[in-house]
Amino acid sequence: MAPPDKVLLYDTTLRDGTQGEGVSLTVDDKLKVAQALDRLGVRYIEGGWPGSNPKDEEFFAKAKNLRFKNARLSAFGSTRRKDLTAHEDPNLKAIVRVKTPVACIFGKAWDLHVVHALRATLDENLKMIGDSVRFLKSKGKEVVYDAEHFFDGYRSNAEYALSSLKAAFAAGLTT
């Protein structure tokens, strides 16, 4: 954990930043951007979503040869599916396969999305969050938890939104 007088930057340019209309980076572009972010002192660089597309797979394969001075490379994904164990989930297995030191997973913090998007119970979602964090920690990953739509969830059901964070913390999440 960083001392209280430091801010650690987590950059999503290589995943979220490439989702805009007309934005397309080659693998070499992504490697150059990652190196530039490291030179800027960015602590975490999210490289993409392993298993989602061939370009991200190639990026992670080539990024293994990069040596960062400041940054740690992160792979992105979601919590396990409700009908699978964390060990069975192809998304979580892909995050482990690319061998980044950091994994960032998003999970549902808004009860509306749990019920209508995941079609899960609130308790099932908390188990999905905890299982996913524990699995990635057991594989030696530093885990960043992205509480998706947290503030909408907090406005709707503050107790549940906070319980989603507590489930991740109880499972050993790093950030």
pLDDT tens, position by position, 56-96: 999 999 999 999 999 999 999 999 999 999 999 999 999 99
Return the CATH number at 159.
3.20.20.70
State residue 1's pLDDT score: 55
- For residue 86, the enclosing domain spans 10-17+24-170
Give CA–CA dist 108/150, Å, rounded.
Answer: 8
Q: Is residue 3 part of a domain?
A: no
State residue 3's pLDDT score: 61
Q: Is residue 151 part of a domain?
A: yes
Q: Is residue 144 part of a domain?
A: yes
How many domains, in total, are found in the chain?
1
Residue from 116, 107, 124, 109 nearest 156 by CA: 109
Q: Is residue 146 part of a domain?
A: yes
Average pLDDT of the segment spanning 95-108: 97
pLDDT band per the 50, 70, 90 thresholds, residue 2: low
